[in-house]
Amino acid sequence: MDKQQRPVLISMRGVGLRHGLRRVLSGVDLDIHRGDFMAITGPNGGGKTSLLRIILRLLRPSEGEVAYFAADGSRADRLDVGYLPQKNTIDSHFPLTVSEVVASGLLGCRGMSRKDVEERTNAILRTIGMERHASQPIGRLSGGQVQRSLLGRALISEAPLLILDEPLSYVDKHFEQRIYEILREKAGNTTIVLVSHEMTAIAAMATRHIIVDGTVHVCHSDNHRVVCDCG
């Protein structure tokens, strides 16, 4: 289905953001449709992470509007989201195990028994290759293992919207390929918004491409070539 026929999930109109006197984003007009796989790139400091945080309502824009929509087109107050932040948000001294970190992605999911949570957690641990580390404290893991665990937390709720900020950070080449497999499995049924500097493989999977460098430039793809008019 063409994106013009797919329902809009998130709409941004005239969105801008200032930090003090510094303008981070301006004039952002962007629709994210259900089923989109949106790949985002751009220079460091260009506002990529700020854009994601505005989408998630973790940051309030200085101007403009961000609207969520339900499947029937009506306005929605909130969205179910799986989110992988750019930076490690786990306190390395906090006594959480890998299983507990992954299972924390189910907080707020109602109607799940303890057995359901355990089965879902074990399945995700296998998906991310961390089943042998399930009972280890998160603070004892390498950066790549922490990244796997946080990815598991983002995936476990099977939310219809998946937002990943630099998911390839810290991981080795082997698990990088596993991430690509997971994305291929999710694409189409899940709306994916992904920020990465490693776009070679991701560009071929994504259905939409944007560059963020203080505003948003929508790119056009043709036969796996991505052309952006940033003029």
Most confident of 37-46, 103-112, 196-205, 217-226: 37-46
- Residues 128, 176, single domain; the answer is no
CATH (domain of 216)? 3.40.50.300
- Residues 199, 144, single domain; the answer is no
CA pseudo-torsion sign 112, 116, 122, 124? negative
CA pseudo-torsion sign 42, 37, 9, 30? positive
| 176 lies in some domain | yes
Whether the full predicted model's pTM is greater than 0.85, yes or no, is: yes
**Is 90 exceeded by the pLDDT of residue 197?**
no
Residue range(s) defining the domain that contains residue 142? 94-158
Chain segment 2-30, per-residue pLDDT in tens: 555 789 999 999 999 999 999 999 999 99
For the CA atoms of 57, 62, 63, 67, the dihedral, rounded to the nearest 10 degrees, stands at 0
- Residues 72, 108, single domain; the answer is no
**Is 60 exceeded by the pLDDT of residue 62?**
yes
Instruction: State the Cα–Cα distance between residues 3 and 109, nearest whole angstrom.
Output: 29
- Tell how far CA 124 is from the center of its chain: 17
Mean of the per-residue pLDDT values of the chain:
91
Chain segment 102-154, per-residue pLDDT in tens: 999 999 887 889 999 999 999 999 999 999 999 999 988 999 999 999 999 99
Instruction: State the Cα–Cα distance between residues 106 and 153, nearest whole angstrom.
Output: 8
